[in-house]
Amino acid sequence: MKTDLVVVCDKELRAGTHVLSLGFKTEHRALRKLVIKYKSEFEEFGVIASQVQKPTSKEGGRPIEEFLLNENQAMYLGTLLTNNEAVRSFKRKMVAEFSRMKRVLQSLASQKQNAEWLEKRNTGKITRRQETDSIKDFVDYATKQGSGSAGKYYMNISKMQNKALFVLLQEFPSLRDALNLSQLSMAECADRIVSRALREGMDKMMAYKEIYQHAKKQVETFAEIVGKTVVPAATLGIGSVEVPLLEE
């Protein structure tokens, strides 16, 4: 289950009450009750968003319903808690993380005004479409060979590439919009590598699982040469604050 303190939700920075409960060392249901009790006051700072976090298959358990609070709402929630040492310490972390994430978004917004970056992003979209065409043909190929879930290769191949090339400090609605010039070039090269590997495998009539592994190996070899990089760029500051789970 995700435990990043501050996340981007509909282009706005938010903190989930579940993660806040871990940081404040308070029961999640207690924080939810506070938000519900003082709902009108929280809404003075904006709309209260919500989401349902599903546990991973390894974690098990029930889905967690949480509120997603913007910066002012999260700060206000902190004022409703007993101001002990743990709460004060986490408030400082929360303030710092909202500040860091604002710098990240400002940097990404500035990046999109750069002509060279825009040109690279547009050429990358063309290469990405070519890769998608290759994946489509590969999905049809795998289906004909008996795969019952070939459609998942669209997602699996993207995840495979991203995992090989990047260390992701947090999630973004569009990962490639968060890449810098160098990273966009790396992603574009990986797209070409995958497209070529898939078509080579299909031309040789290889088993579809072997083709995927062949493409994966090619991308991983490329990643070993160029090296993994951090997204967003490390120059933006330290990595995102991940809140540890409370001890039972």
pLDDT in tens, 29-43: 999 999 999 999 999
Q: For residue 81, what are the contacts with CB-CB under 8 A and spacing of at least 6?
A: 24, 26, 87
Q: What is the DSSP string of 186-225?
A: HHHHHHHHHHHHHHHHHHTT--HHHHHHHHHHHHHHHHHH
Q: What CA–CA distance (Å, rounded) separates 56 from 235?
A: 32
Residue 9 three-state SS: strand
Count helices and strands (H / E) in the chain. 9, 6
Tell me the three state secondary structure of residue 233.
Answer: coil
Mean pLDDT of the chain: 88
- Is residue 234 within a helix (H) or strand (E), and if so which, with residue range? none
What is the per-residue pLDDT across 75-95, written as a single tens digit (0 to 9) for each?
999 999 999 999 999 999 999
Write the pLDDT tens digit of every residue in 121-146: 999 999 999 999 999 999 999 999 99
Please state the pTM of the whole predicted model: 0.70
Structure tokens that stand for 42 in this block:
């929280």
- pLDDT interval class at 238 (50, 70, 90): very low
Q: Which residue has the higher pLDDT, 147 or 10?
A: 147
Residue 112's pLDDT is 84
Answer yes or no: are the C-beta atoms of 77 and 34 closer than 8 Å. Answer: yes
Residue 225 scores a pLDDT above 90: yes
Single-letter amino acid code for the residue at 220: E
| Cβ-proximal residues to 181 (8 Å cutoff; 6+ apart), any chain | 116, 117, 120
Residue pair 67/83 in contact by the 8 Å Cβ criterion:
no
Mean of the pLDDT values across residues 172-194? 92
Give Cα 165 distance to the centre of its chain: 14
- Specify the DSSP element, H or E, that contains 239: none
Q: Which token pair is 221?
A: 């070899």
DSSP assignment, residue 4? B
* pLDDT confidence bin for 60, thresholds 50/70/90: low
pLDDT at 187: 96
Higher pLDDT, 241 or 189: 189
Q: 230 - beta bridge partners?
A: 167
Q: How far apart are the first and last CA of the chain?
A: 17
* Residue corresponding to tokens 């604002």: 102
Helix/strand/coil for 242: strand
Task: Say whether pLDDT at 147 is over 70.
Answer: yes
Backbone angles phi, psi at 78, to 5 degrees: -60, -30
Partners of residue 15 on adjacent β-strands = 69
pLDDT at 243 > cutoff 60? no
pLDDT of 235 = 44
